[in-house]
Structure 1
Amino acid sequence: MRAIQYTAFGTRPQLVDVERPRPGPGEVLLRITASGLCHSDEFVMAMPQDGYPYPMPMTLGHEPAGVVEELGEGASGVTVGDAVIVYGCWGCGVCAMCADGSENLCLTGMLSPGLGVNGAMAEFMVVDTPRHLVPIGDLDPVRAASLTDAALTPYQAIKSVLPRIVGGTTTVVIGAGGLGHVAIQLLRALTPTRVVALDIGEDKLAFARENGAHEAFTSEPAAADKVKQLTGGRGADVVLDFVGMDVTGELAVACGGVASAVVVVGAGLGGAKIGLTSAPYNMTVSTSLWGRRKELIELVEMARRGQVQIHTTTYPITEGEQAYEDVHAGRIVGRAVVVP
């Protein structure tokens, strides 16, 4: 079968022919119908060789949609032909975090398709257990695939600060791309907050407005002054940083007000730095990693009701290499999705 793999350090993803996998006991074989691309793949391919934690080569893709093709011995709970998406946080299932439903925070180390085991940038993929499958019924798999990360990640981040985002509040979204444009939709659907988007380029600012942002400014130091002006000098109540670089972390802190919350979501190898005299008093800063399977089920229902819609650009698997180049170059508005 065809697959897009990371094959060697310092190289870009390659389209290769590999053997079709077979499901082992308790496992499920999916015929992939759509697979979303993510900047986390770029993060993995930028890791140094020393201490690299994943196998090589490795099929990429951690936003899978597919149809159940075959059940391994003893696997149950789904049937051949079911349309599903894959919850990507594969925890041990035993530790305290997994017992609480937070496999994304597994204490023994989470694996994921495309981030530790072969992923969904292929015609077929093995899922470790039916527990990690979420039925989608007649939802378009191209739109549903990226619910697994591009929607689930901002959904958990927003839920972590939801009690703060009441009437009269302001929330800043830094980075209105694959995750950020979904965050804007979720904020509009879940809260009465005023949403301010920060990004670079008028096309991305227009995209943010199309997805529900009340205001959209260029992501630069002066944006913090504009947020302060909008809020009568107080600053934002919540800032969500979907970039995660030092420069955006600094901007996030500058946008926030007294007793505000900053949530760093992006994996840009940086973050927000605060101190008693260098940030607004009582500001809290947290990170947020992916989300819970129950939250993915909630998102599927929201998508079914039209409350969240992921903007996608599709590629056949034969153009998967180009898809990764377009993501790397920042040419994608929303989410790129490979359709085998």
Structure 2
Amino acid sequence: MKAVRLHAYHQQPVIEDVPEPQAKEPFDVVVKIGGAGVCRTDLHIIEEQWAEKSGVTLPYTIGHENAGWVHEIGRGVTNVAVGDTVILHPTPTCGLCHACRAGNDMHCENSVFPGIDSDGGMAEYLLTSARACIKLDPSTQPADVAALADAGITAYHAVRKAVPRLYPGTVCVVNGAGGLGHIGIQSLRALTAATVVVVDRNAEALELAAELGADHTVQADGKQVDAVLDLTGGNGAEVVLDFVAEQGAQQDAFAMTRRDGSHFVIGYGSNIDIPTIDIISTERNVIGNLVGTYNDLVELMVLAQAGKVTLHTKKYPLDAALDALADLDAGRVRGRAILTP
């Protein structure tokens, strides 16, 4: 089968033939990929940012946002059958450790992360686990929902955590309206009554944000912090969801957060430099976010199949994977790039 393989850091992946995976263990599931999302994390992987944390051995297949059809199952699988349409939680888990038992399965002590630390889904087939499979309506096209498996669940998880802080009358800033941010806006609209302010440097992204329900849009032109403070009476927002967190955006996000507010870090790429006195004197919170739980993805798919959360996508054939990565890196993708093997 064809797969997008990374052979060396700081070099582009190559598309090559590799053996098809097989369901050898009882709970193995092989999925025929119908859609594989292209994520900024894939760019960070190529740049070696994940090398130490993942411990992956090169070469391997990238791609961690995956949906498709069940192709083969292990002898112990009962929750899906061959032919079922599925979206895959990004981290197949053990179900037995404390984190899994507590419902925090993205912190499973024994999980793998296809596309990060093992072969991923930018390929014709992917080996995963029955525990990662969420069965979808057969009419669902995998390419239309694949990016919800990571971008979607990550954005939804952050919003879900922020909901208790976003009672009516509060303000939430969405910093970055790209692949994750545009899902975050819709999740906020579905789950809260907060006023939504969206900040982005790209005018087209702000137009999309307004279409999706943003109450205010702010151009990131160097004056975005002042603009948000003006919109909030000089106080800042109760919650800032930072979907960028690099190139200075992470500092802006904290500066947009009011006293006793919460700065949710979702994007990554740069360090946050905050004087500790600024944290304790204002009691502001800095909260990290890693993908989400299996149940988060189940809930998100309910919203998606009800039409309350939609993905704006640009589709590429698998052979054009390098074009998709280049377009993402250059900011030419509105929403999410999807490979269709």
TM-score, length of structure 2 as denominator length: 0.94
Residue in 2 aligned with 1:134?
134
User: Deviations 1:17-63 (Å, cap 9, x if unpaired)?
Assistant: 11112111221111111111111111111116974611211111111
Residue in 2 aligned with 1:261?
262
C-alpha displacement at 1:71, in angstroms? 1.3
Alignment of 1:26-105 (within 5 A): 26=26, 27-47=28-48, 51=52, 53-105=55-107
Root mean square deviation, CA, Å? 1.8
Alignment of 1:149-298 (within 5 A): 149-245=150-246, 247-271=248-272, 273-277=274-278, 281-298=282-299
C-alpha displacement at 1:78, in angstroms? 1.1
C-alpha displacement at 1:111, in angstroms? 2.0
C-alpha displacement at 1:201, in angstroms? 2.2
Letter in 2 for 1:55: T
Identity of aligned residues (%): 35
Residue in 2 aligned with 1:4?
4
Kept after mapping to 1: 8 A contact 2:242/2:250:
yes
Question: Secondary structure, in 3 states, of the residue corresponding to 2:36?
Answer: strand
Kept after mapping to 2: 8 A contact 1:184/1:195:
yes
C-alpha displacement at 1:278, in angstroms? 6.6
C-alpha displacement at 1:119, in angstroms? 0.9
C-alpha displacement at 1:332, in angstroms? 0.6
- Which stretches in structure 2 are left out of the alignment for 5+ residues? none
**Cα 1:144–1:272, aligned 2, differ >3 Å: closer, same or farther?**
farther
**Cα 1:142–1:223, aligned 2, differ >3 Å: closer, same or farther?**
same
User: How many pairs were matched up?
Assistant: 338
Kept after mapping to 2: 8 A contact 1:20/1:124:
yes
C-alpha displacement at 1:277, in angstroms? 3.8
Kept after mapping to 2: 8 A contact 1:66/1:83:
yes
C-alpha displacement at 1:215, in angstroms? 1.3
Residue in 2 aligned with 1:21?
21
Kept after mapping to 2: 8 A contact 1:36/1:62:
yes
CA distance in 1, matches of 2:76, 2:96: 20
Letter in 2 for 1:239: V
**Cα 1:237–1:220, aligned 2, differ >3 Å: closer, same or farther?**
farther
C-alpha displacement at 1:166, in angstroms? 1.1
**Cα 1:240–1:15, aligned 2, differ >3 Å: closer, same or farther?**
same
Deviates further, 183-192 or 109-118? 109-118
**Cα 1:49–1:302, aligned 2, differ >3 Å: closer, same or farther?**
closer
**Cα 1:170–1:28, aligned 2, differ >3 Å: closer, same or farther?**
same
**Cα 1:273–1:147, aligned 2, differ >3 Å: closer, same or farther?**
same
Residue in 1 aligned with 2:333?
332
C-alpha displacement at 1:14, in angstroms? 1.4
C-alpha displacement at 1:282, in angstroms? 1.2
**Cα 1:50–1:193, aligned 2, differ >3 Å: closer, same or farther?**
closer
**Cα 1:131–1:160, aligned 2, differ >3 Å: closer, same or farther?**
same
Residue in 1 aligned with 2:317?
316
Deviates further, 172-181 or 39-48? 39-48
- Which stretches in structure 1 are left out of the alignment for 5+ residues? none
C-alpha displacement at 1:248, in angstroms? 1.4
**Cα 1:316–1:163, aligned 2, differ >3 Å: closer, same or farther?**
same
TM-score, length of structure 1 as denominator length: 0.94
Kept after mapping to 2: 8 A contact 1:249/1:273:
no
Kept after mapping to 1: 8 A contact 2:7/2:58:
yes
Kept after mapping to 1: 8 A contact 2:265/2:289:
yes
CA distance in 2, matches of 1:164, 1:49: 32
CA distance in 2, matches of 1:78, 1:182: 27
CA distance in 1, matches of 2:297, 2:274: 31
C-alpha displacement at 1:272, in angstroms? 5.7
